Amino acid sequence: MDLEAAKVIGAGLAAIGVGAAAIGVGNVFGSFLESAIRNPAAADGQQGRLFIGFAAAELLGLIAFAVAMIILYAV
């Protein structure tokens, strides 16, 4: 298998990690929404932590995307 083909396959495999991060981000927001419906008055106070959780989950997905870009363009 030549390098170009291997690069493209590698980038495609790395993109699976981005899908896994999508599950994580959905998890964060889903938990927030589920508990916000139960206690709407307390929900606004926790919005900061919502975004911290989102940032952490998104970061790992973006790292997977960065790996895909490195394989495709910098190897």
Partner 1 sequence: MAAESKIDPMHQFQIQPLAGNLDGSPFVFTNSALWMLIVLALIWLFMLGGMKRQLVPSRWQVAVEGVTSFITSMLSTNVGPEGRKYVPWVFTVFMFILFANLIGMMPFAIVPGAHPFTVTSQFTVTGVMAIISFGIVLVVGLWKHKLHFFSLFVPKNTPFALKLLIVPIEFVSFMVRPFSLALRLFVAMIAGHILVEVFGSFVVGGINAGGVMGPAISLLSFVFIIGVMALELLVCAIQAYVFALLTSLYINDAVNLH
CA dist., res. 57 & res. 5, Å (int) = 30
42 binds partner 1 (CB under 8 A): no
CA-to-CA dists, residue 42 to 48, 55, 65, angstroms:
12, 21, 35
Q: Are 61 and 27 in contact (CB under 8 A)?
A: no
Q: Which stretch binds partner 1 (CB under 8 A): 2-10, 25-33, 34-42, 65-73?
A: 65-73
* Contact with partner 1 (CB under 8 A) among 42, 52, 70, 75: 52
Taking the complex as a whole, how short is the minimal distance between the CB of residue 7 and partner 1, in angstroms? 14
Q: Kindly list the residues in this chain that would bind partner 1 in the complex (CB under 8 A).
A: 48, 51-52, 54-55, 58-59, 62-63, 65-66, 69, 73
